[in-house]
């Protein structure tokens, strides 16, 4: 595992870093992230639904809509932001105070645990160390002023989700799902968890919703009937968008050039731009 640039980061001498939220009656006092106006969580009930790809393309679409945007990869064990944003260098860490300078690509400020450890290095940490790392990623990054910080959450409903909900004033969350009933069931668990910690839910986004044949333009629902609209209605939340199953979206993610950058005028990019406009309106 690559060592961090500063002994301040995740060290035993100062494991929590300076100025973390104080405890009151056993729970952290919520404190805003410096320089960040709005916090948007992108979450999913399970892995493999395209959450991180959606988060990155949404962040770029928000920036294309003239928002100042950052993205924080909160998946400590499986960080994907370095590959998705084609960023592999190590960020600078200030000698005094230990604040981390985020990396930037495509006009987006980025921070991920993947910048601080090797790409293939396993992070074998217990829960307490993970929570300390999350707190430092939240409060020890020297963001330039941001209109929206997109937080790419780890899948599921674990400690990271609960901790962020308790530490940070969150302005909204969106849930990514696919059409399968199992994915929708997990999405329902995610919605219920956010409601428990009183995080506003902007709505549901269905990824891999349909496939458009490039030859005959016929739309097919590869993973079964479009059930997200019904699920969103049952959960009393909006269906914010339907993202197609498209090879170019996957290829852009694999090579670190998201489709919103590689094909800015494509109909697939327009889907993310429509989603970005809904998010901007809801966050206002």
Q: What is the pLDDT of residue 29?
A: 79
SS3 state at 213: coil
Which of 284, 254, 268 shows the shortest CA–CA distance to 83? Answer: 254
Instruction: Give the domain extent around 65.
Output: 35-283
In a domain, 8, yes or no: no
Asked, for residue 18, whether it belongs to a domain, the answer is no
Q: What percent of the chain has pLDDT over 90?
A: 50
Q: Is residue 6 one of the residues assigned to a domain? A: no
Burial of 125 (C-beta count, 10 Å sphere; 0-12/13-18/19+): middle
Specify whether the CB–CB gap between 271 and 242 falls below 8 A.
yes
Total domains present in the chain: 1
Q: Who contacts 269 (Cβ-Cβ below 8 Å, separation ≥6)? A: 57, 61, 259, 260, 263
Closest alpha carbon to 20 in 33, 5, 6 = 33
Average pLDDT for 79-104: 90
Q: Per the domain annotation, does 29 fall within a domain?
A: no
What CATH number should be reported for the domain holding residue 212?
A: 3.40.50.300
pLDDT value of residue 10: 47
| Residue 42 counted as domain residue | yes
Q: Reply yes or no on whether the pLDDT at 125 is more than 90.
A: no
How many Cα atoms within 13 Å fall on the side-chain side of residue 267? 9
pLDDT greater than 90 at residue 4: no
Q: Is pLDDT at 168 greater than 60 in this prediction?
A: yes
Q: What is the pLDDT of residue 281?
A: 97
Question: Residue 20 domain-assigned?
Answer: no
185-203 per-position pLDDT tens digit: 888 888 998 998 889 999 9
Residue 24 counted as domain residue: no
Q: Strand, helix or coil at 201?
A: strand
| Measured distance CA(103)–CA(100) in Å, rounded | 9
């Amino acid at each position: 595992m690559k060592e961090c640039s500063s002994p301040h980061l995740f060290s035993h001498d100062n494991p929590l870093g300076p100025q973390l939220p104080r405890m009151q009656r056993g729970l952290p006092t919520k404190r805003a992230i410096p320089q960040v106006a709005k916090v948007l969580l992108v979450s999913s009930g399970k892995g493999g639904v395209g959450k991180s790809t959606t988060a990155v393309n949404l962040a770029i679409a928000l920036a294309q809509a003239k928002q100042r945007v950052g993205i924080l990869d909160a998946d400590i064990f499986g960080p994907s932001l370095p590959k998705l944003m084609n960023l592999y260098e190590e960020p600078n860490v200030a000698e005094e105070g230990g604040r981390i300078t985020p990396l930037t690509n495509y006009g987006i400020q980025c921070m991920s645990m993947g910048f601080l450890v090797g790409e293939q290095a396993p992070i074998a940490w217990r829960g307490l160390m993970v929570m300390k790392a999350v707190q430092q990623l939240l409060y020890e990054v020297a963001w330039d002023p941001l209109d929206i910080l997109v937080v790419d959450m780890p899948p599921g409903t674990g400690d990271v989700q609960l901790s962020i909900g308790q530490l940070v004033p969150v302005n909204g969350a969106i849930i990514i799902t696919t059409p399968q009933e199992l994915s929708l069931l997990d999405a329902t668990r995610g919605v219920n968890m956010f409601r428990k910690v009183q995080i506003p839910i902007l709505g549901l986004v269905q990824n891999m919703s349909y496939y458009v044949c490039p030859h005959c333009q016929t739309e097919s629902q590869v993973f079964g009937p479009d059930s997200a609209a019904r699920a969103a209605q049952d959960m009393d939340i909006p269906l914010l968008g339907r993202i197609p199953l498209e090879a170019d979206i996957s290829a852009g993610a694999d090579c670190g050039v998201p489709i919103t950058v590689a094909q800015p005028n494509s109909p697939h990019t327009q889907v993310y731009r429509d989603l970005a406009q809904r998010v901007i309106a809801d966050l206002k």
